[in-house]
Copies of this chain bind each other. A is one copy, B any other.
């Protein structure tokens, strides 16, 4: 699974995951390479899937999303033999930004974003808790954000 990355490739990735607006030329300069070979490396890493995509990150607050909720979900024994149905539904909810399967007491951890507590509760009551086999759902409400990044630590 792990790739052997040259130190130049790592530098390129570090730059791009911080600012995807950098042109191939700017990156080339910073990694002390010339334009074309640098461009080829970026391209290769995109084709290999190392670079999954480039996206714009939006400001939660300015768009009115004031809370993030981490929800621990436990399924009934029966539900656990039929995870696909639950997972498909989860992937389809745009308010669910992340869903992880967990080792330990919960089955899933969801990260859900909402405009306010009321709209979160509506989502919980009308959608999440309506899924069959959901036995427990504990909502942990995040009030403020100390840090948020998508940058992986590339040593």
Interface residues of chain A, those whose CB is within 8 Å of chain B, are 1-3, 5, 13, 16-21, 48-66, 68, 70, 87, 90-91, 94-104, 106, 108-109, 113, 140-154
Complex alpha-carbon distance, A104 and B140, angstroms: 7
Indicate how many identical chains form the complex.
Answer: 2
Do A145 and B64 have beta carbons less than 8 Å apart? Answer: no
Do A100 and B142 have beta carbons less than 8 Å apart? Answer: yes
Name A97's closest neighbour in chain B (CB-CB): B149
A9 to chain B, nearest CB (A): 11
CB neighbours of A151 from chain B (8 A): 55, 94, 97
Q: A2-B64, A13-B58, A94-B153 are in contact. Are A141 and B104 (CB under 8 A)?
A: yes
Do A142 and B101 have beta carbons less than 8 Å apart? Answer: yes
Cβ 8 A contact of A57, one of B54, B63, B145: B54
CB neighbours of A87 from chain B (8 A): 146
CB neighbours of A103 from chain B (8 A): 140-143
Do B149 and A98 have beta carbons less than 8 Å apart? Answer: yes
Cβ 8 A contact of A102, one of B100, B142, B150: B142
Cβ 8 A contact of A20, one of B1, B55, B149: B55
Do A113 and B152 have beta carbons less than 8 Å apart? Answer: yes
- Beyond contacts A20-B20, A50-B59, A51-B59: 15 other A-B pairs, Cβ-Cβ < 8 A, are A2-B63, A13-B58, A16-B56, A17-B58, A51-B56, A51-B58, A54-B55, A54-B56, A55-B57, A90-B146, A98-B145, A98-B149, A99-B146, A103-B140, A113-B152
